[in-house]
Amino acid sequence: MLTPSGLLSVAPFERKNLEKFLRSISSGGGTKSSSKSSQGLSQKLGVLGFFEPSTRTKLSFEAAGRQLGISWLDLRPEDLSLQKGESLEDTFKNIALYGVNFFVIRHSASYFPHWVHRWTQLPVLNAGDGTNEHPTQALGDALTLYQLAKGKKLEICFLGDACRSRVAKSSIRVLKNLGHRISIVDESRGENRAFAKAFEISLAPRKKLSSFDIVYCLRLQKERWAQAAEEPLSLSELGKTSKLMDAGPVIWGETMQREIQNLAPERNLILKQAENAFLVRLALLQELQK
Q: Least distance in Å: CB of 123 to other proteins?
A: 16
Nearest approach in angstroms of CB 109 to other proteins is: 4
Q: Are strands 71-75 and 155-159 parallel, antiparallel or unpaired?
A: unpaired
Closer CB to other proteins, 28 or 77, in the complex: 77
41/109 with CB nearer other proteins: 109
Angle (CA) 134 148 290, round 5°: 50
**Residue 20 or 197 with smaller CB distance to other proteins:** 197
Cβ proximity to other proteins: between 20 and 193 the closer is 193
- Residues 125, 216, 165, CA angle at the centre, nearest 5°? 50
Of 87 and 211, the one with the shorter C-beta distance to other proteins is 87
CA neighbor of 139 nearest in space, from 268, 280, 270: 280
Nearer to other proteins, 55 or 108 (CB): 108
Smallest distance, other proteins to C-beta of residue 124, A = 12
Query: What is the nearest approach in angstroms of other proteins to the Cβ of residue 150?
Result: 31
Rounded to a whole number of angstroms, the minimum distance from the CB of residue 179 to other proteins is: 20
Preceding peptide of 123 cis, ω within 30°: no
| Nearer Cβ to other proteins (58/169) | 169
Closer Cβ to other proteins, 132 or 276, answer by number: 132
Helical packing angle, 270-289 and 135-149, nearest 10°: 120
CA neighbor of 14 nearest in space, from 1, 5, 32: 1
Strand order in the sheet with 214-217: 202-204, 181-185, 155-159, 214-217, 243-246
Q: Comparing C-alpha atoms, which of 126, 133, 166 is closest to residue 6?
A: 126
- 8 burial via Cβ count (<10 Å: 0-12, 13-18, 19+): buried
Gyration radius of the chain over CA positions: 19
Residues 6+ apart with CB under 8 A from 123: 2, 4, 5, 6, 7, 101, 102, 103, 117, 288
Question: Which residues bind to other proteins, rule: CB under 8 A?
Answer: 8-9, 87-89, 107-112, 114-115, 118, 129-133, 163-164, 166, 169, 194-195, 197-199, 224-225
CB of 94 to other proteins, least distance (A): 15
- Taking the complex as a whole, the smallest distance from the CB of residue 198 to other proteins amounts, in Å, to 4
Nearest Cα residue to 58 out of 193, 255, 249? 249
Minimum Å gap between C-beta 74 and other proteins is 21
Residues contacting 169, CB < 8 A, separation 6+: 131, 132, 133, 134, 162, 199
